[in-house]
Structure formats: structure tokens, C-alpha cells
Structure 1
Amino acid sequence: MGIRFRSAARRAGIVILASLGLILLWSCSDRQITLGVAAPLTGEQARSGRDVVNGVRLAVDEWNAKGGVDGKKVVLLEADDKGDPDQALVVARDFAKRAHAVVGHYNSPCTLAAIEVYSKEKIPMITASSTNPDVTDRGYLTIFRVCGRDDQQGRSAAKYVADHFPGAKVAVIHDKSSYGQDLANEFLKNFEFLTKTQSAFYGSIDRTGVDIPTVVDKVKEAQPTVVYFGGLWPQGAELVKELKAKGCTAAFVSGDGCIDPQFLKSAGAAGEGTLVTFIPDQEKLPTAQSVLAAYKAKYGELGPYSLYAYTAATVALTGLSQAGTTDGVEVARTLHKIEVETPFGKMKFDEKGDPQQSPYVMWKVEGGRFVEVPMEAPPAPAAAPAEAK
């Protein structure tokens, strides 16, 4: 009987200790706010992903320096989704168990996969960079973005080409992703509407780039004066190099997926003259100067979406603070009602979760760097088609 009693006592002690551990864990959880950030931190987009994480880190550090969210410390969870939708799902399921809000994902295909989890689990998610319209068009209450949409930038690019390259003969290429294909289609739809002409070529490339030479041969046969590419900088750089190597003199136009310092480095001289849509120069925003200074002091060169990532984190934390609760539905409802002070000025969301204002302008590669192009510049004549060889 003595042995049995001691064994029972030990088991009871273990149960009590485990219970105390859970109580302590819950108590600690009640004293902190957990923010997740998901981006590609390995692979060819690792630098872009790190730029996003750094922007979020800066915002979290600033909030914690001021006492956190209503006195609760903000803890940051960083996850590598590898730019892969399947891995993004894994990350989302993990964050749904541990995070009160999420900044992410970087790529539209990853975000489109992950929002199904965040919406179901009622986790507020704010993407800094996913521009596919379907991210917010699905109508999920807890899903937001702080950047623009592909239908906006596709329309801006089409108008620019129609105005500045009258009589242009256009070839359209995409990378088969939900981001690249949607952007290319938005450009083509608007270009055809504005000019009442059809594309001279429409095709796609694989993200491995293995079929780029074959596609470029077909593009050259079509003799375009403008090539529009919907996709990311790694494939964009390879594509423009192949076009130039095979004597195609068409202007190369793309979207925000190619406005990256790595595009400049990879494309080299072949990238000169490339046109890409993006927002007006962030460096000149009066409301962003203090954040820009702090970011550069801590992390160096500003990435294209660093400021957006800072903004997304600011939106998430402001929503948690203003709502006065970590309940995701209440946080989302709060964000739909309030204006948030951001480096881009006061940001208010529409019924879908998009910012009410997000203008696009054109940038051009000149002298190995991106330079904002005045939209009111006088139109330039379309380049003469290259002779087929």
C-alpha cells in the first residue's frame, strides 16, 4: 500500500506541476502580443524577404520602446515561406496557433494560399506586397493589404505605353504565377481597350527560365516594339538579357516585381531603358523621413517593400491597440473604421481591405539605377520593328 500511495502521489505531483506550467504559459501569453511575419528568407528572393522582415522589426522595436501595445511587449515570429504556396500554408497553420496578427506574405501565390487559413482562424493578416486583386476580392474580413493592386498598375502601365509609344506593337509574357499572369492580363486588357489593337504575341515562361530562349525566338518573329512582362526580377532579368542578345530592340516594360536592385545587377547593361510601374519615390515622402532615417541607420539600403512592411506592422499593432482586444474579428472591424498614421500618410481601408489611395507611376533604368519618370513627359515615337532574321 505504501508503494502504491507514493506512486499515486508522484503522479498527482506531475499533474499539478504540468497544470502550473500551463497556467504560467497562459499568464505570460496574456502579457505579450505576438506578431508573425512571413516572407521568402532563402532562395533567389531571400534579400527581398529580408527587406520585409527588417521593416517589420523596426516597427516592433519602436512600439516596444514606447511600452508595447497597451503595456504588453510585442514578440516577433519570423518564418520562411520559401516563396512557395505549399510552405506558406505550413507557416499559416503554425501562425494561426501562435500569432495575434500576421504581416505577410510577400508573394501573391503564397498569400492567396495562406489567407484561407487566416480567414478561417480569424487572424488579421496584412500583406505589404501581394498585389493580386483576389487577395482582397475574396471578401475575407480579416485580410488587408497596404500596397496597390495589379488591376491598378496594369492599367497605369497600359496608359503609359499607349500615350508614350503611339502605334506600339506589343508582345505580352508572364511567368504563369497568379501574380505575373494577372498583371500581364490586366495590362493587355487595358492596352487593347485604349488602342483598339490586339497583342502581336501572348505567351508564358516557366520560373525555372529553361524555356526563355524558345519564347524569345517566338517574340522576335512577332517583331514587337514593346515587350510587357508580368513576373519577378530573376526571370525578368534573364528575359531582357535574352531579348537584347538576340537583337530585339523593343522597349521592355514590367511591374513592381522587377523594381529591385537585384534586377539591375543581374540584367546589367541589357536592363538599361527598362520601364517598371511602382509607387512615387518613397525617399521624398515628407511623412516618411524619420522612419527612413531609422531604417537606414539600422539596416542600410531601403528595399522596395521595406517601408510597406513597416506600414503593415504599424497597421496590425494599431488595430490591436485601438480594438483593446486580441480578438481577430474585433481587430479587423476596428481597422475598417479607423485611419492609421503611416509613413505614407493617413491610411484608411475600403470595404475590401485595400488602401483607399495607392498611386502608381513609371520608373526607368538609367545609368544602372531606377529613376522616376514624369508621367506628363511628351510622348516618344514607337521604335521601328527589328527585321526578322
Structure 2
Amino acid sequence: MFKIERAAFAVIMTLLVLALSVASPARAAGTSQIEASEITIGVVGPMSGDLAHMGRYVRDAVALAAEEWNEKGGILGRRIHLLLEDDRNDPAEAVTAAKRLVQAGVWGVIGHLTSAGSFPASAIYHAAGIPQITPSSTDPRLTEQGFMSLFRTCGRDDQQGRVAAEFVLESLRPRRVVILHDQTAYGRALAEAFKRRIVRAQRSLRVTSMAISSGGKDIGSVIEQIKTEEPDLVYFGGLFHEGGLLAKRLREQGIKATLVSGDGVFGMEFINVAGETAAAGTYLTFAPDPMLLPSAEAAIKRFHDRYGAIGPYTLYAYDAAGALFTAIARAKPKAASRSHLLRVSQHLHRMTYLGALGELRWDAKGDRLKPPYVIYQVKKGGSFQGWFEQVTDRTPKR
């Protein structure tokens, strides 16, 4: 879901260059600022602002995992201590937060939530040798940097666009398709991946591409353009606010085309904006329903008892923490120094982690070997959050 805006990409790349020189003196000297009795893990994401609710899901999931490990003696006989940082979903703030975590001598980082934060911060962690696992940064470019200490428990945007296209071709079989995006890099990448797949597979389709402005200010004129195309299906690459407005206005104007979108629309916020009637029937790509995973039952119950209902990326953060803790325990680093922590990343690359989401393994880039995307339909009474029902078990081929 969470990807970098093109307009911000140049700024982020500048921050990346600066970030490569910020490994703290303590790291460079191969010493640790950690208390001998504790292993400190950084948890970072938006804890304030529009995405604060998502950041809190990550914070709480990691806290639950740490509590479980601490009850069993911690890691290597040391108690796990979590150090929380707020990046406000801002690249500059993400760099500042990453510097503070490096200076604090963390042994690993869970975060950032979005690729806008993960991208510039990853260079800082890489320079210090600190393993970083993001539960939700989906920009394909993130793991193309060649940082061996960078991992994600989620999938990539290019994968879910392909999954959506295959489902549309095999199950919905439209004749006329409108593809539009919200002019974010995330939305554009989804739309392009979807279009490439359906055009290559079915050249007889009539496909029209459009864009909607961020915030949906031009939604009226876009709806008029869609009406003239008389589509059977509308594919939207973008986020929940614009997606909700689109669904609402399509139904208000009597356009009966099936709406299909991605994980940026997945969640109750989409339904709140669109309204229940307009949202119902929409198809979305997201990870497999955790409610259907026997491996997730215990974690979901413990989380619910402590914090309430799980969020979209709760289990991805929970498993990110569990995998990191396991790798530290196996690598047995003697200090939070670069040379010792690189052994933790080496173990992450080699190991198979059995978590709430099932079996997790990573390739040389830090991407999941089995990318996690399936199709959901928005349906009142659905098994996930009461509104989302998994309708396929399709995952993309590598």
C-alpha cells in the first residue's frame, strides 16, 4: 500500500545521500550504547497525523510480541526494551527518527510504516548495519537498493496489480475497462501493472486510462468521462479517500461497472467515505484473511484481549518482530555494533520463520519468497473487520 510520491522522490534521494554518513561514532567504533541487561528494538512510524491509527497498530503488535518473549526470558537472557519514534509519515522526520535510533544503539528496527519513511531511513540503518523489517512499505524500489539489512513482511505494488488483472480476466471477463489512478506514485504503479497484464493477455479489450486529482476535486468531470465509455469494470489505483469518493459518485450517477482496487483502499475508511451501499461489491487485493489462518488464531486472540480488533498490518508487524527476535537469538551478537548486527541480517536471509502468517522466507533482496496477495469482496458481514470477504486464494507466481 504505502509508496513514495514522485514529487517527493528527488527530496528523498537527497536525504539518502546525506543519510549514508550518519552512523553514530559509537557504531563506527564498534561499541554499544545499550544497557547490558536489555536489548533495545526501535519501533518507528506515524504516531501522529492522518496515519496515526496505522502506526498504533504497528506499535501495539510489536509490544505484544516483545511482552511474550520477555515472559519467556527475553533474548539471550536480556529483556527486550522498545524505543518508539514518530516519523509523522514525513521523509525528513523519518531521517531524524532513524538517526536517534542509531545513536540509541538499537539492535534492530520494525518500521517504517510507509515507503516515504522507509526509503530515506533505510540508508541510515544500512550504514549502521542495523536490520530493518517493514510490515507495510510496498514500493518495489525499496528493496532494489541492495541493502542486505532491509526486509519486509508485506508484498510489493507490482505484484498486487498483476494479481488483480488475472482475477479480472479469469472471473469477471469485462469487455470495456476504465483504468484510473489518483496521481500518486503508488496509484500510478498499481494502474500500470494492472494495465500491462490485461492488455497483454486480452488485446480485444477496450481499455481507457484516466486520472483523478489528489483529494478528488475533479471527481465530477472524471465521472462524466467514465460515463461516456460505458465500462463493465473500473480499476482504481490509489488510496481510500479518493477510492471512496469514486465508489460513491459512480453509484450516484447510476454507473453499474464493477469497481476493483488495491490495498490502499482496504479498510473501514473506504466504507466510511463511500457509504455502505456504494462500497458493497467492490473487489480489492490484500493479504490472505488472517481469520482463515489457523496459525494466526492465538496471536489474534491475544491482541484482541489486550488492544481490541486487529488492523490490516497488525500481524505483519507482529511477525516482523518475531522474526527479528528469532534472528537475534540465533545469531547471538555480543554487541549492537555493525559487524555483530550484520550476522542477524544473514540469519534472516537464511532462515524460515513460522509466524502468525505462516511460513516466511526472504530472497536476497529482502522480499518475501511467496508474495501475499489474494482477492477480497466488500460485503457486509465479511469475515475480516465485518466487511471484507476473501474470495480467492490466488498469489502471484515468482
Q: Given the two structures, how large is their TM-score scaled by the length of structure 1?
A: 0.84
Residue identity opposite 2:83 in structure 1:
L
Match of 2:352 in 1: 339
Q: Determine the C-alpha separation between the residues in 1 that align with 2:240 and 2:249.
A: 14
Offset, 1:204 = 3.0
Q: How many Å apart are 1:111 and its aligned residue? A: 2.0
Q: In structure 1, which of residues 276, 289, 307 is the aligned counterpart of residue 284 of structure 2?
A: 276
**How far does residue 197 in structure 1 lie from its aligned partner after superposition?**
5.0
Alignment partner for residue 311 of structure 1, among 314, 319, 331?
Answer: 319
In the superposition, relative to structure 1, how do residues 78 and 209 fare at CA in structure 2: closer, same or farther (>3 Å)?
farther
- Distance of aligned partners of 1:252 and 1:136 in 2 relative to their CA distance in 1, 3 Å threshold: same
Change (3 A) 1:180 1:117: farther
Higher mean Cα deviation, 241-250 or 314-323?
241-250
Which whole-Å CA distance do the structure 1 matches of 2:359 and 2:224 have between them? 48
Number of residue pairs matched by the alignment:
352
Distance change (3 Å), C-alpha of 1:235 and 1:108: farther
Structure 2: any 5+ residue segments left out of the alignment? 1-30, 382-386
Residue from 213, 220, 223 that aligns with 2:220: 213
* Structure 2 residue aligned with 1:62: 68
C-alpha displacement of 1:27: 7.2
Where does residue 23 of structure 2 map in the other structure?
none
CA 1:140–1:198: 2 relative to 1, 3 Å: farther
Deviation at 1:202, TM superposition (A): 2.2
Q: Which residue among 117, 137, 148 is the counterpart of 2:124?
A: 117
Does the 8 Å contact 2:238/2:265 carry over to 1? yes
| Aligned counterparts, 1:39-58, within 5 A | 39-58=45-64
Q: 1:152 aligns with which of 149, 159, 180?
A: 159
Q: TM-score, normalised by structure 2?
A: 0.82
Separation in 2 of the partners of 1:355 and 1:39? Answer: 21
Counterpart check, 1:371 vs 2:377: no
Secondary structure of the equivalent of 2:366?
coil
1:1-389 to 2 correspondences below 5 Å: 29-98=35-104, 99-197=106-204, 200-268=207-275, 269-325=277-333, 326=336, 327-367=340-380, 369-374=387-392
Amino acid at match of 1:87: E
Per-residue Cα deviation, 1:289-334 (whole angstroms, up to 9, x for no partner): 2111101111111111101110111112112221111333221111
Q: Is the 8 A contact 2:85 2:97 kept in 1?
A: yes
Q: Give, in whole Å, the separation in 2 of the partners of 1:94 and 1:168.
A: 54
User: RMSD of the alignment, in Å?
Assistant: 2.2
Report the Cα distance in structure 1 between the residues aligned to 2:144 and 2:34, rounded to whole angstroms: 37
CA deviation map 1:328-368 (0-9, x unaligned): 32211111111222112232211111121234221001126
Task: Specify every segment of 5 or more residues in structure 1 that has no aligned partner in the other structure, as ranges.
Answer: 1-24, 377-389
Deviations 1:87-133 (CA, angstroms, capped at 9, x unpaired): 32332232232222111122233322322222233221111112222
Once residues 342 and 117 of structure 1 are traced to their aligned partners in structure 2, the CA distance between those partners, rounded to angstroms, is 28
Residues 305, 144 of structure 1: alpha-carbon distance in 2 compared, 3 angstrom cutoff:
same
What's the CA shift for 1:31?
Answer: 2.5
Give the stretch that moved more between structures: 329-338 or 108-117. 108-117
Give how far 1:186 is off. 1.2
Larger Rg: 1
What is the rounded CA distance, in whole Å, between the counterparts of 2:361 and 2:285 in structure 1? 23
Matched-pair contact (CA < 8 Å) for 1:172–1:199: no
Secondary structure of the residue aligned to 1:189 is: helix
Question: Relative to 1, partners in 2 of residues 1:189 and 1:101: Cα closer, same or farther, differing over 3 Å?
Answer: same
